[in-house]
Amino acid sequence: MNTSQTIEQMRELKLAGMLQSYQSQLDLSINQQLEGHELIAHLVEAEKLSRSNARLVSLLHAAKLRYHVIPESIECSAARNLTKGQWSLLLEGTFVHQGENVLITGSTGVGKSTLACSLGYQACLLGIKTRYFNLTRLVESILMAKTEGTYLKFLNQLEKISLIIIDDFGLQTLNKNTKLALLQILEDRYEKKSVIITSQLPVSKWHEYLEEPSLADYPHFLIMRSNSTINIINQVFTQSDRADYFA
């Protein structure tokens, strides 16, 4: 089999990474080209890396993160109530595998969404299906699904996602039906899948915000299944933010 036939078969088998690496080898002089086991190992590794990158791109696209912030760019400090140790533990992703939650609270502009999206980005790096929702958009999606008769399908889709981020919890007034729908989504995930919630409201105010007897105990259960509750005191900077801020 000549090189042209090999290349064509790689195309047919959709071995994009292997194909690109093989063509790169062919561009080298004969004495620089890998041979035998070394060549096979090199091509397999290239294909593995290509598929891993394609998987990451697909996960990030599906996640619809508000910000694409790599975890390493987050600066931690005790002054912001976020230590390096706490951040490192969250980046391991264990809380997702254990069906635990992360609650991030703080005033406007301290970087709650940045932290949540950075954890979402890390989850994608770990191969975990993730989906970001601003609470307003989540409510709109719920209402649209109910209108179109696809609500159960919508719930089933959410149930397949290991990590859901709900941003800006507590900013929007919710009617009773929306509150119950939100409860159903969170209940379906209880002890099985994870949720990250960001809110300007301290957790102690969530009962008052929900104002629904049937939901009265849910904040308690949400907290009990939380891996971490982070109350951000000062603004969270990424490295690039800091460079711009102090320029």
> How far, in Å, CA of 216 to CA of 219, rounded?
7
CATH of 65-245, one of 3.40.50.300, 3.40.630.10, 2.60.40.10, 1.20.140.10: 3.40.50.300
12-16, 43-47, 64-68, 232-236: the lowest-pLDDT one: 232-236
Over residues 3-48, the pLDDT tens digits come to 888 888 989 888 888 888 889 988 888 888 888 888 889 889 988 8
How buried is residue 146: exposed, middle or buried, by Cβ count under 10 Å (0-12/13-18/19+)?
middle
> How far, in Å, CA of 14 to CA of 8, rounded?
10
The 163-169 sheet, strands edge to edge: 130-134, 163-169, 194-199, 101-106, 226-232
Q: For position 81, what pLDDT does the model report? A: 83
Percent of the chain with pLDDT over 70: 85
CATH 3.40.50.300 in the chain: give the residue spans. Answer: 65-245
Type of residue numbered 94: T
> How far, in Å, CA of 173 to CA of 176, rounded?
10
> How far, in Å, CA of 208 to CA of 117, rounded?
27
> How far, in Å, CA of 12 to CA of 141, rounded?
39
Over residues 160-206, the pLDDT tens digits come to 999 999 999 988 888 888 888 888 888 888 888 999 999 998 877 87
pTM score: 0.80
